[in-house]
Amino acid sequence: MWKSRIDEKPTASNSPQPPAPAAPASTTYQPRTVETPKMESYRADVAHIGKSVIIKGELSGSEDLYLDGEVEGNIDLHDHNLVIGPNGKVRANVSAREVTVHGKVDGNVTGVEKVELKKSAVLAGDISTQRIVIEDGAFFKGAIDIRKAEVKTPPITSYGSSSSSTLLGEDS
């Protein structure tokens, strides 16, 4: 009644088998990746202000900046990015292309393209930007103005030009 079906028996096949994966030399220890606290990676071309540095006055530059110290005054990086590290304490108005805050800021923040408040961020001041990201846990007291991105349209020189005829063709 409970005959085993011959065709389902596991049999060694004559067809070539893919080589079995080699057994690990040791099964007692498997190295695991340990998650380290995520810090904003900074590259060699990013200026770095360490946590023991205190600056009073105007801070401006034309390169990206990682700031982990204290600044009192103004920070203006024009078209470059600013990261305020977890030890960063800023009592200043801040302006940069993208601003990422891990630490404390007391002042208005203008991020032309983006402002990002990480979960450890404490920001008291107004934010003006195109895009904002706020992680859960971030403290924020102030106003947020979302600026609409400027749409750059190519100038149309004349109706007879090839570019304008292409545009008209797309519309119709």
Partner 1 sequence: MGFFRNLIGGDDASPRPSARKLPRVERYSTGFEQFTHAIREPEGLNILDLGPTSPANIEYITGLGHRAVNEDVLSAACSGRYLAPGEEEGTTIVDVAGFLAAELQYPEESFDAVILWDVCDYLPEPLVKPVVERVRRITRHRGVLLAFFHAREAATPEAETHYCRYHIRNHRLLELEPGKPYPLQRTFQNRHVENLFRDYASIKFFLGKENIREVLLLR
The interface region with partner 1, picked from 7-15, 80-88, 134-142, 163-171 by CB under 8 A, is 134-142
Burial class (CB in 10 A: 0-12, 13-18, 19+), 128: middle
| Total of chain residues touching partner 1, rule CB under 8 A | 14
- DSSP assignment of 65-101: EEE-SEEEEEEE-TTS-EEE-TT-EEEEEEEEEEEEE
Minimum distance between the CB of residue 105 and partner 1, rounded to whole angstroms?
14
Binding status of residue 119 toward partner 1 by CB under 8 A: no
Nearer to partner 1, 42 or 140 (CB): 140
Nearer to partner 1, 93 or 128 (CB): 128
Binding status of residue 149 toward partner 1 by CB under 8 A: no
- Using the rule CB under 8 A, which residue among 53, 146, 156, 168 binds partner 1? 146
Residues 6+ positions from 67 with CB-CB distance below 8 Å: 49, 75, 82, 83, 84, 85, 88, 90
Read off the tokens for 64.
């990206």
Give the dihedral sign, CA 130/117/111/40. Answer: negative
Binding status of residue 150 toward partner 1 by CB under 8 A: no
Nearer to partner 1, 61 or 86 (CB): 86
- Using the rule CB under 8 A, which residue among 46, 47, 55, 132 binds partner 1? 132
Residues 6+ positions from 85 with CB-CB distance below 8 Å: 39, 40, 51, 66, 67, 68, 102, 103
The interface region with partner 1, picked from 13-21, 92-100, 136-144, 159-167 by CB under 8 A, is 136-144
Minimum distance between the CB of residue 72 and partner 1, rounded to whole angstroms?
20
The site for partner 1 (CB under 8 A) is made up of 132-136, 138-146
